[in-house]
């Protein structure tokens, strides 16, 4: 196994950036510590050219600004696999933006691959085995074990070959333009701070009455403070399912905590009083201070909407089979509902529909309009 270079100084990063500026294509990946710390952070950045693979340690080399012009240059192709999380993380931690994106996971989806994970694709096409146990490893540890360093390097060094393979197939199928549009949309992804009450980002909160929403907010605020105090991901303090059961039951005494799923005797002893205090705060919160979940304005009743959505889903199933794609990859449910509401009758009207991609309009437009026309005739 070749020696893998790990850059740990700002000077080394600046030198690498200068070298990468002369490249036409680089492969990029990163590793973070979201499973192990309260505030997740990027702990390693992997970069592969056709000639070599280099790892950047951003915990040691903290100035990554020399990489800005390289990553922002659309003339240099940047290969990622499943770029969404990586782009948000680079934006959040280093204010880095990526242009010239090529996402091999998007390619795999639009080629109809059954398995789109990088490990699955590398095994299928190159007989390369990635050890999945490191996906959940603590990448903030230092020094990194040799086997973790090797795993990280393998994540990017094969991406150039994968692009070559996928590009050829995409061109054969006439789907390269589909990917190009998807890449351009993905490039716009940025990290966004979530302001306002924590409870509004909690799954299932939209169904709660305001008083229970207040209890949920107080419990989540307490959990955030505990996570920060002990530098643990919040789910390792108390799980979401347990939090929701506490909200529904609103226990007032220690004895009432027994039998709540996920709340072991040890956790009851450690956190019981604090949980009851948080619940009490939520229960006694003045009405005017209770959080309000944003409600979507009700649409005017459209008796044919449900039937049009059903028609479009059947149409999608047929079309997806023709293209050998997952139905949700060809066109997702949100887009189908937008179409059912808009009821376009011509290509000109279809082109005005927001939420549908250009490649979908061009490839599926006539067939889609025919499905809507048949629906209007039958109903």
CATH number (domain holding residue 281): 1.10.150.80
pLDDT (mean) for 212-240: 96
Residues 251 and 323 in one domain: no
Question: How far is Cα 372 from Cα 316, in angstroms, rounded to an integer?
Answer: 12
pLDDT (mean) for 288-300: 79
Report the CATH number at residue 98: 3.30.420.10
pLDDT in tens, 306-364: 899 999 999 999 999 999 999 999 999 999 999 999 999 999 999 999 989 999 999 99
Residues 83 and 30 in one domain: yes
Residue 298 is assigned to a structural domain of this protein: no
Asked if residue 378 has pLDDT above 80, the reply is no
Question: How far is Cα 135 from Cα 184, in angstroms, rounded to an integer?
Answer: 27
Question: How far is Cα 25 from Cα 4, in angstroms, rounded to an integer?
Answer: 20
Residues 45 and 95 in one domain: yes
Of the CA atoms within 13 Å of residue 146, those in its CB half-sphere come to: 3
Residues 333/350, Cβ–Cβ less than 8 Å: no
pLDDT band at 176; cut points 50, 70, 90: very high
Asked if residue 1 has pLDDT above 60, the reply is no
Residues 55/12, Cβ–Cβ less than 8 Å: no
pLDDT in tens, 139-162: 999 999 999 999 999 999 999 999
Task: Write out the E strands in the chain.
Answer: 5-7, 25-32, 42-48, 53-56, 77-80, 101-103
C-alpha separations of 302 from 39, 299, 343, 368 in Å: 45, 8, 12, 20
Residues 172/156, Cβ–Cβ less than 8 Å: no
Of the three residues 162, 186, 210, the one that is the final residue of a domain is 186
CB burial string 14-37: b at 16+ within 10 A, e below: bebbeebeebebbbbbbbbbbebb
Question: How far is Cα 47 from Cα 56, in angstroms, rounded to an integer?
Answer: 8
Residues 29 and 81 in one domain: yes
Residues 312 and 176 in one domain: no
For residue 375, what pLDDT is reported? 78
Asked if residue 221 has pLDDT above 90, the reply is yes
pLDDT in tens, 108-141: 999 999 999 999 999 999 999 988 889 889 999 9
Residue 112 is assigned to a structural domain of this protein: yes
pLDDT (mean) for 193-204: 89
For residue 28, what pLDDT is reported? 98
Residues 180 and 206 in one domain: no
Of the three residues 186, 216, 242, the one that is the final residue of a domain is 186
Percent of the chain residues past pLDDT 70, beyond the cut: 97
Q: How many structural domains is the chain composed of?
A: 3
Asked if residue 2 has pLDDT above 70, the reply is no
Asked if residue 101 has pLDDT above 60, the reply is yes
- Provide the domain limits for residue 264: 198-289
Q: What is the mean pLDDT of the chain?
A: 94
Of the CA atoms within 13 Å of residue 96, those in its CB half-sphere come to: 20
Which strand ranges, in their side-by-side order, compose the sheet holding 101-103? 5-7, 53-56, 42-48, 25-32, 77-80, 101-103
For residue 377, what pLDDT is reported? 61
Burial of 365 (0-12, 13-18, 19+ CB in 10 A): middle
Question: How far is Cα 241 from Cα 230, in angstroms, rounded to an integer?
Answer: 21
Residues 175 and 29 in one domain: yes
DSSP category for residue 68: H
Residues 212 and 354 in one domain: no
pLDDT band at 95; cut points 50, 70, 90: very high
Residues 251 and 182 in one domain: no
Of the three residues 157, 186, 215, the one that is the final residue of a domain is 186
> Which is higher by pLDDT, 131 or 23?
23
Residues 223 and 247 in one domain: yes
Residue 296 is assigned to a structural domain of this protein: no
Question: How far is Cα 248 from Cα 245, in angstroms, rounded to an integer?
Answer: 5
Please, where are the H alpha helices in 75-209?
A: 83-94, 104-110, 118-126, 146-157, 159-173, 176-186
Q: Residue 30 is encoded by which pair of tokens?
A: 């990163």
Residue 132 is assigned to a structural domain of this protein: yes
Asked if residue 296 has pLDDT above 70, the reply is no
Residue 192 is assigned to a structural domain of this protein: no
Asked whether the whole model's pTM tops 0.95, one would answer no
For residue 379, what pLDDT is reported? 56
Residue 72 is assigned to a structural domain of this protein: yes
Neighbours of 128 (CB within 10 A): 15
Residue 300 is assigned to a structural domain of this protein: no
Contacts of 19 (CB under 8 A, 6+ apart): none
Residue 148 is assigned to a structural domain of this protein: yes
For residue 303, what pLDDT is reported? 76
Residues 203 and 144 in one domain: no
Residues 112 and 179 in one domain: yes
């Amino acid at each position: 196994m070749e020696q893998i270079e790990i850059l740990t100084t700002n000077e080394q990063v600046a030198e690498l950036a200068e070298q990468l500026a002369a490249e036409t294509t680089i492969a990029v990946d990163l590793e973070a510590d979201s499973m192990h710390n309260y505030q997740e952070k990027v702990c390693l950045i992997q970069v592969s050219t056709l000639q070599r693979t280099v790892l950047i340690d951003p915990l040691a080399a903290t100035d990554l600004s020399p990489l800005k012009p390289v990553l922002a240059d659309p003339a240099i192709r940047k290969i990622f696999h499943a770029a969404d999380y990586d782009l948000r993380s680079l934006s959040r931690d280093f204010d880095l933006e990526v242009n010239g994106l090529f996402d091999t996971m998007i390619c795999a989806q639009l080629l109809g691959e059954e398995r789109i994970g990088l490990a699955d694709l590398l095994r299928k096409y190159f007989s390369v085995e990635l050890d999945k146990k490191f996906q959940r490893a603590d990448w903030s540890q230092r020094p990194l074990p040799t086997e973790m360093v090797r795993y990280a390097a393998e994540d990017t060094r094969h991406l150039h070959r994968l692009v070559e393979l996928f590009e050829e197939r995409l061109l054969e199928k006439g789907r390269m333009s589909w990917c190009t549009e998807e890449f351009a949309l993905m490039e716009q992804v940025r990290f966004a701070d979530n302001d306002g009450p924590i409870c509004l980002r909690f799954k299932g909160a939209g169904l709660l009455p305001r008083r229970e929403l207040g209890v949920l907010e107080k419990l989540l605020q307490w959990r955030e403070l505990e996570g920060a105090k002990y530098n643990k991901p919040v789910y390792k303090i108390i799980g979401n399912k347990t939090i929701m059961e506490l909200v529904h039951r609103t226990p007032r005494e220690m004895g009432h905590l027994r039998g709540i799923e996920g709340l072991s005797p040890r956790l009851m002893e450690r956190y019981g009083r604090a949980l009851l205090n948080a619940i009490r705060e939520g229960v006694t919160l003045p009405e005017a201070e209770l959080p309000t979940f944003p409600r979507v304005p009700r649409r005017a009743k459209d008796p044919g909407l449900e039937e049009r959505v059903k028609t479009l889903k059947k149409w999608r199933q047929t079309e997806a089979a023709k293209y050998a794609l997952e139905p949700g990859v060809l066109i997702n449910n949100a887009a189908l509902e937008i179409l059912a509401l808009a009821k376009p009758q011509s290509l000109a009207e279809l082109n005005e529909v927001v939420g549908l991609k250009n490649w979908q309009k061009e490839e599926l437009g006539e067939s889609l309009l025919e499905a809507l026309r048949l629906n209007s005739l039958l109903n």
